[in-house]
């Protein structure tokens, strides 16, 4: 049995590192298993947890990417015999999506997710690509869910564009004032990487 947690993020850079938040979520899911998946000292019944983070609008220098962070063994002195299943209990997977990245090949996971979550494609376009490249034919119920997802994507994009324009104006104003990246990041409540991304575009 594997316990999964799936989260969606509108962007890669936040005030925190996504992998750190993923580890926190995973650790919480591990501790919550006490008296649910196992009781008392039956720790061998602890189920593995996988926290999956899908980051839309990844910056160009990251592009389409996928990385897994997990608990692994490193022998320092000698070797303690232990089954991998006994310690391989937490995994954090980050999937970055960038529609413009040429690594988005048809039939692959990134191509699928970029199609499904694209704010620029119409429902009809998505249905055609999902049927042609992934063999997913939309039934009425699934088609309605896809339309709802498209409406949500459009709303997120509109709010994101407005927020992004205002943030860009604010950052550029501070640049003109001669403030450094650290000061701008603190004043705007964003990371230094985000400041660089705005000023370099």
- Tens digit of pLDDT for each residue in 113-166? 888 877 777 778 888 888 888 888 776 655 566 666 655 555 455 555 556 777
| pLDDT average, residue stretch 88-113 | 83
Predicted confidence band at 191 (pLDDT cuts at 50, 70, 90)? confident
Other Cβ atoms closer than 10 A to 18: 19
pTM (2 decimals)? 0.66
pLDDT for 108 beyond 90: no
Q: What pLDDT, on the 0 to 100 scale, is given for residue 147?
A: 63
Contacts 24+ apart (CB under 8 A), 26-31: 26/50, 26/51, 26/90, 26/91, 26/92, 27/90, 29/3, 29/5, 30/89, 30/90
**Tokens read off for 126:** 């998505």
Q: What pLDDT, on the 0 to 100 scale, is given for residue 148?
A: 62
| pLDDT average, residue stretch 71-100 | 92
Q: What pLDDT, on the 0 to 100 scale, is given for residue 105?
A: 66
3-state SS class at 120: coil
| pLDDT average, residue stretch 84-95 | 94
Percent of the chain with pLDDT over 70: 84
Q: Which DSSP letter does residue 33 get?
A: T
């Amino acid at each position: 049995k594997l316990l999964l947690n799936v989260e969606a993020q509108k962007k890669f850079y936040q005030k925190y590192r996504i992998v750190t938040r993923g580890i926190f979520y995973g650790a919480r899911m591990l501790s919550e298993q006490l008296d649910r998946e196992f009781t008392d000292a039956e720790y061998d019944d602890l189920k593995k947890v996988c926290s999956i983070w899908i980051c839309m609008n990844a910056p160009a220098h990251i592009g389409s990417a996928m990385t897994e962070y997990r608990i692994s063994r490193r022998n320092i002195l000698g070797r303690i015999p232990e089954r991998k299943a006994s310690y391989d209990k937490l995994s954090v997977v980050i999937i970055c999506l960038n529609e413009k990245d040429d690594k988005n090949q048809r039939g692959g996971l990134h191509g699928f997710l970029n199609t499904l979550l694209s704010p620029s494609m119409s429902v009809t376009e998505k249905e055609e690509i999902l049927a042609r490249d992934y063999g997913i034919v939309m039934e009425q119920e699934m088609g309605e869910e896809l339309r709802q997802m498209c409406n949500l994507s459009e709303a997120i994009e509109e709010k994101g564009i407005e927020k992004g324009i205002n943030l860009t104006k604010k950052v550029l104003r501070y640049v003109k004032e001669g403030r450094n990246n650290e000061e701008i990041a603190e004043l705007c409540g964003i990371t230094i990487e985000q400041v660089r991304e705005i000023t370099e575009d």
